């Protein structure tokens, strides 16, 4: 059986960006830039006061200063600051010519209606200088950047109102299993609620993708084949929950083969999610996720998510925090890579949460990360460094 790392490399090797489009700024969040972005202006665009106070010359700071004008934000100063002069200035306003300092209003004493004295506490100039953050023409964002709220702020400040971004894949999600009922139903005897579809829909939505839900398909070869035939035509990525392991009613691998899907991965030395399947037909991709809720949850996080991110123009490197264990971690079998739900303590150490196995998805409501226990490792001692993928 394949190592998880081999499976990962193989699967990511099939991910490719899907072309580009322009979106307006309101829809740029969670997209990935397909082009570098340069600033059309310097930031700040003028010498700007960082404080409410008085703009003056440093050399005059110990003298009695005459207040010659008031400069609100958004206005242009009318006068130049001369010897022993100052201007009342607001935060964000343009520093007048001649001034090289803004004295905070908290550090002045008013002497009559038009004069002030500065108290000795002043040290900063309290000026944000023209271009100190960004120079006009400078590259501020780069192709491949995943757009977060901070990126949106930069796009807005450089006038990047319609950034070029990579397209999102069309994604369909379905669950198979005769035991499944939808969440709004009360399960009869021997039935369970379909949680995986909604979990996968939510995980996909978190990436900024809008998936389509195709419902529950029974363990019926004909119905499953019809559904997958349609899905393979219509969607670029299909996530199937259940029916991929070795049971008599696990029809997914057989049907995918009948539909000419090339199966590149089926089974890896990993827990949970050993029977994960990945296949491709003419640039349409299928993930068969084992039906156990934790298997589908974890395999989405560690495999499907990097794949979808790569399809949207991001690098597919895994993001791990390397953190020390709060206490010893021991397991009985070490024959496969093991993913464990953990919390991260206030001290930055890792603590596994109570976890009963692949059906115990509830454990992940309390987890902040997924810890990796490498194949062959039985014990991690307190203080040893573990790789934790943040959730």
Integer angstrom CA distances of residue 238 from 202, 228, 369: 15, 9, 26
Instruction: Name residues contacting ligand AMP, limited to 216-245 (CB under 6 A).
Output: 241-243, 245
Instruction: Name residues contacting ligand AMP, limited to 132-191 (CB under 6 A).
Output: 175, 177, 179-180
Total number of residues that touch ligand AMP (CB under 6 A): 19
- Our CB check for ligand AMP shows the closer of 180 and 265 to be 180
- The per-residue b/e assignment along 132-144, b for 16 or more CB within 10 angstroms, e otherwise, is eebeeeeebbeee
Is the peptide bond between 44 and the residue preceding it cis, with omega within 30 degrees of 0? yes
Q: Kindly state the smallest distance separating residue 18's Cβ from ligand AMP, in Å.
A: 28
Among positions 44, 96, 163, 242, the unique one binding Mg ion when judged by CB under 5 A: 242
Q: Kindly state the smallest distance separating residue 249's Cβ from ligand AMP, in Å.
A: 8
Rule CB under 6 A: is residue 203 a binding residue for ligand AMP? no
Rule CB under 6 A: is residue 122 a binding residue for ligand AMP? no
- Our CB check for ligand AMP shows the closer of 95 and 302 to be 302
Rule CB under 6 A: is residue 293 a binding residue for ligand AMP? yes
- Our CB check for ligand AMP shows the closer of 54 and 251 to be 251
Integer angstrom CA distances of residue 87 from 47, 79, 126: 15, 9, 14
Rule CB under 6 A: is residue 192 a binding residue for ligand AMP? yes
Residue written as token pair 């953190």: 323
DSSP H or E segment with residue 174: strand 171-176
Please state, as a whole number, how many other Cβ atoms lie within 10 Å of the Cβ of residue 59.
Answer: 11
| C-alpha to C-alpha distance for 341 and 355, rounded to whole angstroms | 7
Site string for Mg ion, 171-190 (x = CB under 5 A): ------x-------------
Task: List helix spans (H) across 235-378.
Answer: 252-258, 293-299, 305-311
Residue numbers at the binding site for ligand AMP (CB under 6 A) = 175, 177, 179-180, 192, 194-197, 241-243, 245, 247, 250, 290-293
């Amino acid at each position: 059986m394949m190592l998880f790392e081999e499976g990962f490399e193989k699967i990511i090797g099939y991910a490719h960006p899907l072309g580009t489009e322009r979106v307006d700024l309101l829809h740029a969040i969670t997209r990935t830039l397909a082009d570098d972005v340069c600033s059309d202006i310097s930031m700040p665009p003028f010498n700007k006061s960082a404080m409410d106070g008085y703009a003056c010359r440093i050399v005059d700071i110990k003298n009695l200063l005459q207040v010659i004008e008031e400069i609100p934000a958004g206005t242009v100063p009318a006068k130049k600051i001369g010897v022993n002069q100052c201007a009342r200035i607001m935060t964000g306003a343009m520093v007048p010519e001649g001034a090289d300092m803004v004295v905070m209003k908290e550090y002045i004493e008013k002497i009559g209606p038009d004069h002030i004295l500065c108290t000795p506490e002043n040290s900063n100039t309290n000026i944000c200088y023209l271009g100190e953050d960004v120079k006009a023409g400078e590259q501020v964002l780069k192709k491949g950047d995943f757009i977060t709220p901070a990126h949106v702020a930069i796009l807005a400040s450089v006038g990047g109102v319609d950034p070029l971004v990579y397209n999102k894949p069309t994604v369909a999600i379905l669950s198979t299993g005769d035991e499944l009922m939808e969440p709004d139903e009360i399960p009869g005897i021997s039935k369970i609620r379909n949680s995986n579809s909604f979990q996968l829909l939510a995980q996909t939505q978190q990436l900024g993708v809008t998936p389509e839900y195709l419902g529950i398909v029974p363990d019926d070869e004909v119905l499953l084949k019809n559904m997958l035939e349609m899905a393979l035509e219509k969607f670029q990525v299909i996530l199937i929950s259940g029916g991929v392991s070795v049971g008599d009613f696990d029809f997914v691998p057989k049907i995918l083969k009948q539909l000419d899907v090339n199966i590149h991965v089926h089974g890896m030395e990993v827990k949970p999610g050993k029977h994960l399947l990945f296949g491709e037909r003419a640039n349409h991709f299928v993930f068969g996720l084992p039906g156990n809720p934790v298997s589908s949850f974890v395999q989405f996080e560690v495999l499907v998510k990097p794949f979808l991110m790569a399809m949207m123009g991001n690098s597919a490197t895994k993001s791990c925090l390397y953190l020390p264990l709060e206490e010893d971690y021991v397991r009985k079998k070490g024959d496969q890579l093991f993913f464990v739900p953990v919390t991260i303590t206030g001290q930055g150490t890792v603590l596994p949460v109570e976890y009963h196995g692949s059906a115990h998805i509830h454990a992940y409501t309390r987890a902040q990360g997924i810890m990796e226990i490498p194949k062959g490792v039985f014990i991690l001692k307190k203080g040893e460094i573990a790789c934790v993928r943040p959730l």
